[in-house]
Amino acid sequence: SQSPDMREAEMSMNAAARVRVMRLRRCPVSLPSVSNHEPAVLAAYNSTFVLTGGLGGLGLRAASLLSELGAARVILSSRSMQITRDGQGLQPQLEALLKLPRVRVQLIPAHLGDREDTQSLLLAAGRDLVCVLHAAGVLRDKLLRSVSAADLRAVSF
């Protein structure tokens, strides 16, 4: 058997030298169904979900899935509040989400690196908040020796 460092791309080790690895796997969950055979998801009904990076491809896809699973309210949050990638069909996806009758979709600007913005976002979400999904990201692929201070600022809070 190979040592963990030969098989895993990411690992962490705690103070007791216990190695942990990250795994994504499908978890079969049996969910109850509601009237008319609609899908149900645990805690989705009458619940609020906040999606940071909500106007990107991942955020809009997550919002669509949550609406299909019965979420009552989805808050899409973004620093710029603009869809920055033309040609990916994101604007029509957003428009379709905003027209859905079964879910309340809100757009709230927030920069999570700013304490006041974060507090305002969480206050707007209210007591029904059950999940914050961080779907924001900036891609700046470079070799480490080529990374500049401006590159670091672009991808950090």
Q: Give the max Cα distance, the chain.
A: 58
Residue 147 tokens read as 């990374």
Question: What is the pLDDT at residue 36?
Answer: 46
* pLDDT surpasses 50 at 149: yes
Q: Read off the pLDDT band of 106 (50, 70, 90).
A: very high
**Average per-residue pLDDT for the chain:** 78
Residue 34 has pLDDT above 80, yes or no: no
Q: Whose CA is closest to 65, among 51, 84, 78?
A: 51
Whether residue 60 contacts residue 85, with contact meaning beta carbons closer than 8 Å, is answered with: no
Question: When comparing pLDDT for 51 and 18, which is higher?
Answer: 51
What would the DSSP string read from start to end of 58-124?
A: HHHHHHHHHHHTT-SEEEEEESS-S---TTSSHHHHHHHHHH-SSSEEEEEE--TTSHHHHHHHHHH
Domains assigned to the chain: 39-154 (3.40.50.720)
Cα–Cα distance, 81 to 110 (Å, whole number): 9
pLDDT at 152 over 90: no
Q: Which of 79, 88, 83 is nearest to 52 (CA)?
A: 79
- Bridge partners (DSSP) listed for residue 105: 74
Q: Across 3-7, 27-31, 117-121, which has the greatest mean pLDDT?
A: 117-121
Q: At residue 3, does pLDDT exceed 80?
A: no
pTM of the model as a whole: 0.65
For 39-88, what is each residue's pLDDT tens digit? 444 446 678 999 999 998 889 999 998 888 888 899 999 988 888 767 77
